[in-house]
Structure 1
Amino acid sequence: MLAVWQQVFALDAKFNAHRAPNHPNFRTLYIRRRNQLLREYAKGEESATRKQYLRIRAQLLQQRYGTSYDQTSLHSRSFSARSSSRVSVSESPDCVGGIGWESQDSNKEPLSEGVVPTKEAEASRAIVGGNTIAENYAFVGVHHIFDQHTAAVTMIKFANNDRSRLGCASFDGTLSVCNVTSNPPFVECIFRGHNNSVTGFDWSVANDLMVSCSIDGTICLWNVAAKSRLRSIKDPSGSEVLTCLFHPVNNNMVIAGNSRGTVEVLNISTGIYLRGGSCKLDGRVFTLAFEANGQLLWAGSSKGTITSFIFDLSTGKLSKCRKITLSEGSPITCISWRAWISREARDPTLLVNCAANVVCLFRVLDQEGSLKLKRRFFVRHKNNRCLVRSTFCPIMSFRQGACVVTGSEDSCVYFLDIEREIKPVVNKLQGHACPVLGVSFNYDESLLATSDYQGLVIVWSREKRLC
């Protein structure tokens, strides 16, 4: 079954070079979605059905693109990859959602220490064209500037798989949604309902709902289309709520972290906090991140610790697993999860901002969320009040080399090549006049949004444009 699954994905990757040859971003997005569908729907299907599907799809692709296809040679390549340490789909039963974890078997060949696809990843590089990593991230033009907020915009986030809608959370107590691709760009709506600073928010999977949290101790649910508040729920202890996010699989559940160090699970539909869905940490909880299946959760605290949890989807129960201290007393202000989906690399990774002047890249080692530090980059970030954030570039998985983008207290935005230990900065954007807090790409990397401590939001593009 696994071999057939690999063949399906490899077949699509083979013909993908012929799809939209002038639009590499589209080709990359297509392969990402194909891989996601295979992970979600391959379970429980008969091998014979999969093989029949493979044959039919091969015929259709060959008729459409006219490229010869040797299924026998592909079959042999697929099986030889099963023993390789660089396969996107792990055979191990200790894998979550099709993403392989680093093997602990001493008899097996160890995985490469690299953090991105290997230099031999020619098929993956071909998908996104032959540009260098510096060319891919040469954002130099200001697309638009938004100034609807009167205080720090601490978090910005594009809607899921959406080029246009950008959400912004501000210390002025409001949450806004901007349309960045209309001509001209404009603010679609401003949600008012919190009585104090908005500290975090998240989009639902379908982008029809948003959830936000505030220092006023409430979590609010918003209907994006109706531009209205559906529900407001107080924290059980009356504490400031500092971070929140939807569960990636079940959007009825929202996970929140508060100023008393409690991570809590809330059924947003009923407004009830779930029994067993609460765990206590040291320090205030500033940031949360799920892996794609929602089985692993990480929380970052004001004490400089990262704690992993196992989440039981059926009950909403949280079980504390691993804890590491990155820098004693230096807050963890942002955690992002990403798994490589190329056939040449497979390691799930965490990107972490810490107010000790560092951005760190960790490899996730196992199903309990154990972490191994892979890269550490210097970024100006020492003020505990500045919640500097970073993000993975959305389609990094298919390139030789990969970038992350981070804000900084020196008013600049940095593009970091995570393969380089020396001189990793491949681009630096200068347009803000105070610490840059939030960063977010839209899904096809055509636009990058950044926000700062004074409430300004700048949308950048690769092409120069007068605002």
Structure 2
Amino acid sequence: MAGSVWQQQAFAIDVRMNAHRVAKHANLRTLYIRRRNQLLRENTTNNDALRKQYVKIRSHLLTQRYNVSLDAMSIHSKSRSVASVASTPDLNLSATNIWNEQVLSENEVVPTSRAEASRAIVGDTSIAENYAFAGVHHIFDQHTDAVSMIKFAHNDRARLCAVSHDHSMSVCNVASSPPSVEFVFQGHTAPVTGCDWSASNDLIATCSLDASVRLWSVVDRVCLRVVHELCGHPVYSCLFHPVNNNLLLTGSSFGLVAVVNVSTGIYVKGSNCKVGGAVLCMAGDASGRLFWAGTDKGMIISILCDDLGRLSKGKRLILSQNSPITCLSWRSWISREARDPTLLVNIAANAVCILKVLDKDGTVQLKRKFNINHKSGKYLVRSTFCPIMSFREGACVVTGSEDSCVYFLDIQSKEQRNAVNKLQGHACPVLGVSFNYDESLLATSDHQGLLILWSREKH
């Protein structure tokens, strides 16, 4: 409990000062506060003296930086009183009226139902206005075959990883002028099907139909390790453990989910979990204790993971018999109206689905379904949540499709037409989609190997 109180004390200081940060860029203020909350939760210390010293120094530095006294910013109204940051574990409305917030059991900060405070932080723009991506920022064509997956590095607006069926993986710098390909990794002997960045962005894991997983050093630009699938089957998906990056989960065509020790390249004993059907995609929650695997049989299976990386099967859901699940993404909450943990799912039955996570065993329930052009299991069409948790009305996801278009879907819209934007620039099925962390750029890739960067339209 003491650790939670300390985190909230430090967080409350930043909330109060938030009006002075990037005054003209509401989205960046939102991003800053979200990132601060995440860092505080991930870097908890048990040293009480160090906690107190940190809060004191943080308060002093922010007061000097913005020339505003924290005491002068206190609120004395009966309904919103913050007498002392150190005396209460509850976060109340900040003195700058940026938002009302409450802390859930998992320490996720969410706005209350007061729409006025929520809209203020995002500049009172609509979903359609905020996601009016229109301009082509750059086009990459370094790959000669389908680019099956793309991923921006964590909290990095510049580096983008792309893996291709031409057996290679590339890293692009989209912040350079003009954007450039930094390097291309060669080593796989068959199409590369998936990739993931480590938490510190120093490693990239790739998996391939050649039945191997490779670990690449981004700094040294070399392959550090090659790990072969236990039974010699093609590997479709790989995912770093979100808490312990020395563990890497892999999913194969044999229906086997397993955990590799990154340091040794050896599979963890007791980590083999047979789910049935080729594991085309995986996703995990922030705790690292719960994962989901999507198969080519139309099933989503929850997988429980202990501290040693040992796996056990949880619950399963069949969305559409024998229709491949091609993408899974997890989000703890997506908007003011949707505060439940959520899975975003692409399924080759012409659908993008929103699933509600019901319990700690990973039980999921279909919440909404949206029609897109995606019928063939040949194309592993993917989607993504927009990275900034919007405080406006509605919530947006972006998905590729087989009709060569990119769709922005308002997943909370009650109207029949859910697409708030459609990008047309590809000439074949769009497979990969990825935002950089501040949503200033969207990357999309297609079946012919083209990769397009889209820039946000200025308002």
Which TM class, normalised by the smaller chain length?
0.7 to 0.9
1:456 corresponds to 2:450? yes
Superposition map of 1:175-194 within 5 A: 175-194=169-188
State the SS of the aligned residue for 2:427.
coil
| Aligned amino acid, residue 70 of structure 1 | S
Give, in whole Å, the separation in 2 of the partners of 1:190 and 1:420.
41
- 1:203-241 deviation digits (Å, cap 9, x = unpaired): 111111111011010111111122211111211101011
Give, in whole Å, the separation in 1 of the partners of 2:268 and 2:162.
28
| Aligned amino acid, residue 175 of structure 2 | T
Give, in whole Å, the separation in 1 of the partners of 2:334 and 2:385.
14
| Aligned amino acid, residue 383 of structure 1 | S
Residues 445 and 451, structure 2, Cα contact 8 Å, conserved in 1: yes
Which one has more relative contact order, counting CA pairs under 8 Å at least 6 apart?
1
Q: Which residue of 1 aligns with 2:11?
A: 9
1:283 corresponds to 2:277? yes
Residues 122 and 390, structure 2, Cα contact 8 Å, conserved in 1: no
Superposition map of 1:98-113 within 5 A: 98-99=107-108
Pair 79,28 (structure 1): closer, same or farther in 2 beyond 3 Å: closer
- Please report the TM-score for the alignment, with normalisation by the length of structure 1: 0.86
Pair 50,125 (structure 1): closer, same or farther in 2 beyond 3 Å: farther
Give, in whole Å, the separation in 2 of the partners of 1:204 and 1:62.
35
State the SS of the aligned residue for 1:455.
coil
- 1:218-275 deviation digits (Å, cap 9, x = unpaired): 1111111222111112111010111111111222211100001000111122111111
Q: Which runs of 5+ in 1 are unaligned?
A: 101-115
State the SS of the aligned residue for 1:432.
coil
Residues 17 and 126, structure 1, Cα contact 8 Å, conserved in 2: no
1:161 corresponds to 2:175? no
Measured after TM superposition, the shift of residue 348 of structure 1 is 1.9
Pair 255,140 (structure 1): closer, same or farther in 2 beyond 3 Å: same
State the SS of the aligned residue for 1:251.
coil
Pair 333,88 (structure 1): closer, same or farther in 2 beyond 3 Å: farther
Pair 409,291 (structure 1): closer, same or farther in 2 beyond 3 Å: same
Residues 149 and 170, structure 1, Cα contact 8 Å, conserved in 2: yes
Q: Which runs of 5+ in 2 are unaligned?
A: 93-99
Residues 173 and 195, structure 1, Cα contact 8 Å, conserved in 2: yes
State the SS of the aligned residue for 2:133.
coil
| Aligned amino acid, residue 358 of structure 1 | A
Identify which of 103, 106, 110 aligns with 1:89. 103
Q: Which residue of 2 aligns with 1:70?
A: 74
| Aligned amino acid, residue 90 of structure 1 | L
Pair 241,118 (structure 1): closer, same or farther in 2 beyond 3 Å: same
Deviates more, 1:125-134 or 1:146-155: 125-134
Q: Which residue of 2 aligns with 1:322?
A: 315
Q: Which residue of 2 aligns with 1:18?
A: 20
Q: Which residue of 1 aligns with 2:236?
A: 242
Measured after TM superposition, the shift of residue 59 of structure 1 is 6.8
Measured after TM superposition, the shift of residue 40 of structure 1 is 2.7
State the SS of the aligned residue for 2:258.
strand
Q: Which residue of 1 aligns with 2:246?
A: 252
State the SS of the aligned residue for 1:36.
helix
Measured after TM superposition, the shift of residue 56 of structure 1 is 7.1
Cα RMSD for the two superposed structures: 2.7
Measured after TM superposition, the shift of residue 434 of structure 1 is 0.7
Identify which of 397, 403, 407 aligns with 1:410. 403
Residues 88 and 345, structure 1, Cα contact 8 Å, conserved in 2: no
- 1:288-335 deviation digits (Å, cap 9, x = unpaired): 11111211111100111111111112x210011111111111111000
Measured after TM superposition, the shift of residue 41 of structure 1 is 4.1
- 1:49-104 deviation digits (Å, cap 9, x = unpaired): 868876776676566254742266344897598xxxx975334xxx5xx359xxxx
Count of aligned pairs: 438
